Structure 1
Amino acid sequence: MEACRRSNRKRKPSEKARKNTSTSSWIIEDVPDYKERDQELEMISDGFTITQQINRKLNSDQFDIILENMWNDFSIEKKNLFKYLDCLWFDMYMTQETKPKVLKWIKKENIFSKKYVFVPIVCWGHWRLLILCNFGEFIQSQTQCPCMLLLDSLNSSDPKTIEPNIRMFLRDIFREENTEEIADSVANIPLLVPKVPQQQNSEDCGIFVLYYINLFMQSAPEDLSIIESYSNIMNENWFSVEGLETFWNEICTSI
């Protein structure tokens, strides 16, 4: 999961700089600014105190910071299996004006040299995770054939509505690399939607995607028959609510 080229976004500004600069123009409008905080009143014996909680609905800058911090915690050996794309690249690809830039950036990264590629997707104010598996293995075999996993913490939103956009995205990546024959085969690559733990509110989708990445990196082996065996790694009981909350309490301090 090598860090790919950034999308010309500023890194997390200092406290002084935050007062004088606005957030990146590429931050999705439906995802709130990280300066926003939920406030709750807590009754105490001698009156009220106001405690502040970090808004759990992550924007792209928050997501990016947490992902980089997570990445740095993994060993070099583990990271050699993975790559990840900038969390805004898919959304930028969907915009005609920025599509050519995104495809050129991806071409330079040689993403399919890795076993697994994480593609965070934030569209319509909702986060999903696409995992490209074995895409360097286009010689058909029973154990190493490529496939895609789409992880969605809100399956009621019908994850496969985005499938045409995903396949178009991959076809254009291969065409940019002048591999037209492989681009034509994208339609035959399975897109699987595993049953994974679901969010219980309207805010936690970004946290779920980060936790999906964290747990998948911990458990995914070097050689995996992903079509047959992915359910051994992820399912409805993949993690508990307590595990997710512990993860959130640890990562929220970085933003």
Structure 2
Amino acid sequence: MKRKMRNKEGQPSTNNFDIYLRGMWKIILKNKIAGCTFIYTLWFKNYMSNTCNSRTDALRWISNEKVFEKRYVFIPMCEGGHWNLLILCNLDKTVDSKTRPCLLLLDSLQSTISDKHKAGLQTFVKNIYKEDGRVGAEAVVKYPFGIPKVPQQTDGSKCGQYVLYYIYKFLMCCPQNYNWEEDYPGFVSGLQII
């Protein structure tokens, strides 16, 4: 039986998005992905569920990825049938270093982003800190949080493809360590409408 790779709207299913991402990850040069990782989409989906066990499991799985040793952590998210991308930068740095931690949210339908959504993502990152036993979880709300202007989709069915494109282009263009003052928004100038 052939596996269904897309949902009825033409988007990659949550289960299969990870297959596409893993395939892309394998073809990118090793020096580009060194110090980077991605979080499986189902982990974020479990975190967002309203059950305590799912949320706890998701945070434990994310913590096991050793995200605080990474330069960049890519978190593809599918909420309400729409894909967007959260990039955690410099979690291996301190808040007072030149390349301090920051968050980037890339969305091909930027009109869907609200302050409530931003606060929810900051809480998610705070909970990752807490799960890992790290100090400084409360400082997450002070991290720069960028929502750069990125190419926008013109239909309702390509947001998953845009997220894969954003990941690829970021990896190809990103600096060794992301400096908010010098590099934001940086890589988006290399993005083109797909």
1:58 aligns with 2:15: no
> Please, which moves more after superposition, 93-102 or 222-231?
222-231
Structure exhibiting the larger radius of gyration computed from Cα positions: 1
Aligned length: 192
**Superposition pairs of residues 155-234 of structure 1, within 5 angstroms:** 155-179=110-134, 181-234=135-188
Residues in 2 aligned to 1:160 and 1:238: alpha-carbon distance in whole angstroms: 25
> What amino acid sits opposite 1:206 in the alignment?
G
SS of the equivalent of 2:74 reads: strand
- Give the structure 2 partner of residue 41 of structure 1: none
Whole-Å Cα distance in 2 between the matches of residues 85 and 187 of structure 1? Answer: 21
Q: Which residue of 1 aligns with 2:92?
A: 136
CA distance in 1, matches of 2:180, 2:151: 19
2:185 aligned counterpart, secondary structure = helix
Aligned to 2:191: 238
Q: 1:34 to 1:191 in 2, by over 3 A?
A: same
Cα distance, 1:175–1:57 mapped onto 2, change above 3 Å: same
Matches within 5 A, 1:38-187: 56-95=10-49, 96=51, 97-141=53-97, 143-179=98-134, 181-187=135-141
Secondary structure in structure 1 of the residue aligned to 2:184: helix
Distance 1:227 1:98, change over 3 A: farther
Identify unmatched segments of 5+ residues in structure 1.
Answer: 1-13, 19-32, 38-54, 245-255
C-alpha distance in 2 between matches for 1:225 and 1:36:
38
CA distance in 2, matches of 1:84, 1:164: 21
- Structure 1 residues 238, 159: closer, same or farther in 2, change over 3 A? farther
Calculate the TM-score normalised by the size of structure 1.
Answer: 0.70
Does the Cα contact within 8 Å between 1:147 and 1:227 map onto a contact in 2? no
Alpha-carbon spacing, 1:124–1:36, altered in 2? closer, same or farther (3 Å): closer
